[in-house]
């Protein structure tokens, strides 16, 4: 998310740095607005260092720039932490006499505020009224904690724990809304291995990255995931249910056992089209002949086999990796395997963290997804599946 982070002049101002640091680790983009008094209590330099952006303090610093509008348009969410009695009063009463209060009035998306102040100030009727007004405006107030305050008093007024502030912010993250909750999803990943003899085999260059990205993303979005994998070069997620297979025949056997429990199948494994007709029991020795002939037989088409077991409510998504005629070949696979959609890609995506794909739907629609991280591709595909 893009987060506009407001900092006002509470003694707890230094804790805002911990919050920003953790948000950055979580992958969010941060822009900081400090009140003038906050900038007197602590330098803007650490906020600049952590956020990676210049800190905004003065509304009129640049004559050709309107920061309270530009920053409000840029952000997905706004958080004021710490929020003093003064800034809460301005927010509740529509006062816009500095950059932070002006940005709040220009912001029409989710706003959170974490009050921090002396306990007597916190319980003053004016402050309580202002907080009630802000709640009615839809501002999500993160209640302060109780304890020994910097001024020597004990009571309510300490800035909420960093972990609690992070959790409340993350609750607004679309990625944390769990749209796949209660869905059972099977994802296949990696390449199959077809043995020639005890030491040699036929396989492919699949790293398993795409399938693992789909499994991880489904888990993050709330699904109950089973990852059925062949040979992979990527690290397998420890927290997912995993079933290891070796050959195409093993993969088919496991899928037939598991598919009845699934709502969605993501068939991202790179399955060998052929296997040796006979696997030698011992290592094949090099002989005087200049050529070794392997007799190969066709492996079953797994998705075609599974199509006869497909229930009406199930969604099957396949992958088509082609070196030529990508769309034409993908369309043939989409129709012949009776898929709901197919993701067409090229070998150039092998072993990379990013990919560029096309999604073909059974209604004839084709959608291009420009180069992006494979987790983002997975998010987009799941979004589309939920709309089918």
Question: For domain 184-386, is the CATH number 3.90.1150.10?
Answer: no
| pLDDT score of 111 | 95
State the catalytic residues.
151
Task: Please provide the distance, in angstroms rounded to a whole number, between the alpha carbons at the two ends of the chain.
Answer: 26
250-301: pLDDT as tens digits:
999 999 999 999 999 999 999 999 999 999 999 998 887 778 899 999 999 9
Residue 270 burial (CB < 10 Å; 0-12/13-18/19+)?
buried
Same fold, 2-176 and 184-386: yes
Among 93, 100, 75, 101, residue whose Cα is nearest residue 23: 75
Mean pLDDT of 171-178: 78
Cis, bond preceding 82 (omega within 30 deg of 0): yes
Mean pLDDT of 349-363: 86
The domain defined by 2-176 folds into: Rossmann fold (3.40.50)
Question: Which residues are 351's β-sheet partners?
Answer: none
Mean pLDDT of 45-60: 92
Total-model pTM: 0.59
Q: By the 8 A CB rule, do 302 and 248 touch?
A: yes
227-253: pLDDT as tens digits:
999 999 988 888 889 999 999 999 999
Of 135-139, 150-154, 318-322, the poorest mean pLDDT is in: 150-154
Mean pLDDT of 313-342: 95
pLDDT above 70: percentage of residues in the chain: 98
Where are the domains positioned within the chain? Answer: 2-176, 184-386
Is residue 214 over pLDDT 90? yes
């Amino acid at each position: 998310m893009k987060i506009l982070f407001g900092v006002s002049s509470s003694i707890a101002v230094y804790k805002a740095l911990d919050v920003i640091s953790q948000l950055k680790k979580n992958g969010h983009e941060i822009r900081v607005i400090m009140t003038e008094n906050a900038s007197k209590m602590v330098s803007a330099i650490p906020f600049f260092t952590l956020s990676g952006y210049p800190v905004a303090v003065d509304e009129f610093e640049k004559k050709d720039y309107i920061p309270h509008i530009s920053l409000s348009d840029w952000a997905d969410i706004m958080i004021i932490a710490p929020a003093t009695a003064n800034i809460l009063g301005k927010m509740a009463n529509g006062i816009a006499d500095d950059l932070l209060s002006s940005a709040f009035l220009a912001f029409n998306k989710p706003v959170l505020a974490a009050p921090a102040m002396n306990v007597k100030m916190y319980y003053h009727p004016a402050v309580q009224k202002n907080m009630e007004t802000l709640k009615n405006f839809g501002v999500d107030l993160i209640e302060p904690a109780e304890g020994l305050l910097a001024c020597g008093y004990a009571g309510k007024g300490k800035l909420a724990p960093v972990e609690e502030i992070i959790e409340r912010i993350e609750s607004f993250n679309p990625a944390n809304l769990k749209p796949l909750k209660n869905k059972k999803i099977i994802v296949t990943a990696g390449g199959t291995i077809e043995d020639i003899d005890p030491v040699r085999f036929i396989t492919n260059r699949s790293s398993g990255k795409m399938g693992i990205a789909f499994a991880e993303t489904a888990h993050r979005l709330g699904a109950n995931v089973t990852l059925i994998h062949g040979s992979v070069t990527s690290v397998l997620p420890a927290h997912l249910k995993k079933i290891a297979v070796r050959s195409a025949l093993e993969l088919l056997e496991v899928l037939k056992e598991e598919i009845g429990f699934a709502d969605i199948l993501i068939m991202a494994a790179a399955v060998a089209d052929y296997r040796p007709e006979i696997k030698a029991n011992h290592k094949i020795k090099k002989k005087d002949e200049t050529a070794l002939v392997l007799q190969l037989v066709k492996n079953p088409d797994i998705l075609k086999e599974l199509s006869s077991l497909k229930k009406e409510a199930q969604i099957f998504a396949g992958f088509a990796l082609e070196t030529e005629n990508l769309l034409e070949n993908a369309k043939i696979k989409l129709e012949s395997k009776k898929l709901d959609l197919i993701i067409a890609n090229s070998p150039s995506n092998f072993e990379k963290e990013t990919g560029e794909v096309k999604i073909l739907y059974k209604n004839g629609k084709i959608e291009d997804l420009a180069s992006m991280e494979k987790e983002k591709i997975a998010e987009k595909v799941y979004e589309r599946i939920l709309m089918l």
